[in-house]
Amino acid sequence: MKTRFILIQTSHAGNVGAAARAMKTMGFDDLVLVAPRWPNVLRKEETIQRASGALDVLERARIVATLDEALDGMSHLCATAMTPRDFGPPTRTPRQHFEMLLKNELQALGGRAIEADSAINPEPESGVAFLFGSERFGMANEDVYRCHVALSIPTNPGFGSLNLGAAVQVVAYEWRQALGGFAVQESAPQGERADAAQLAGMLAHWEQALAAIGFLDPAAPKKLMPRLNQLFNRAQLTQEEIHILRGVAKSMLQAARPSR
């Protein structure tokens, strides 16, 4: 499903860059600006700095004069509004609406949802557009009315105003999650797992070192070594970690030797 983010009459260049960065982090790159305050906003230094590496999104972005041009090819329109409109489309949270949109489980919601019912399941080749109004005034009523839903991000009732870039990030994240999301990357690749022989050798080394420093009594070892065996088995040690532990045992043995 094609996805487009549309910024209407944006007045701050930095927010355009922040929106581009927010989109790229979630894997989206179709950005359209409708009558921005600055005709050269895509090339302004503040825009480029706030994009922080998302220059490819800025390069693909388009500037158009009217909302009709920005909506070309889009069939499902999502307004973003902090407060519901009296005569507008139904207001839902992004997560709630995206679940309905993708799972085809919309139920009758009454009068104002009837028009949305016919568009809640776009054709496979259709597109979804997310519309964001200007920083100062938000979206105009006439623009909200033509949309199928007004997305409202749940916020602190006492302070619900989101920066434009932050709002784009939240909607982009929720939409990406609804589409399946990205796998969380491990911070570092895991080393090769130690085998049973390596673990047994390390334990024998530790038994020798613990006895040398007086922590283990060889005559009455009790269950110390079996418990350490269980501990290290649970840890699923890598070969690198085995080397570290054997280095610790070696240092204990050296420290236990009487000085000459």
Alpha helix ranges (H) inside 83-163: 94-103, 114-117, 141-145
Is residue 47 within 8 A of residue 40, CB to CB? The reply is no
Cβ-defined contacts of 53-60 (< 8 Å, 24+)? 53/21, 53/24, 54/17, 54/20, 54/21, 54/23, 54/24, 56/24, 56/29, 57/20, 57/21, 57/23, 57/24, 57/29, 57/31, 58/16, 58/17, 58/20, 58/31, 60/29, 60/30, 60/31
pLDDT tens-place string over residues 3-42: 999 999 999 999 999 999 999 999 999 999 999 999 899 9
CA distance 98 to 174: 8
Answer with the residue of higher pLDDT: 204 or 112: 204
Give mean pLDDT, residues 215-236.
Answer: 91
pLDDT at residue 109, rounded to an integer: 32
Q: Which helix (H) or strand (E) holds 3?
A: strand 2-8
pLDDT tens-place string over residues 72-127: 999 999 999 766 666 679 999 999 999 998 875 334 333 334 444 444 554 445 78
pLDDT at residue 121, rounded to an integer: 53
Is residue 76 within 8 A of residue 66, CB to CB? The reply is no
pLDDT at residue 84, rounded to an integer: 64
44-48, 81-85, 181-185: which is most confident? 44-48
Angle 220-224-230 from CA coordinates, rounded to 5° = 150
What φ, ψ does residue 75 adopt, rounded to 5°? -115, -20
Residue 14 exposure: Cα atoms within 13 Å on the Cβ side = 4
CA distance 104 to 106: 6
The mean of the pLDDT values for the chain is 87
- Prediction pTM value: 0.69
pLDDT at residue 107, rounded to an integer: 40
pLDDT at residue 82, rounded to an integer: 67
Would the pLDDT of 227 be above 80? yes
Tell me how crowded residue 1 is: count the other CB atoms within 10 A of its CB: 15
Would the pLDDT of 152 be above 50? yes
CA distance 170 to 52: 18
Is residue 45 within 8 A of residue 170, CB to CB? The reply is no
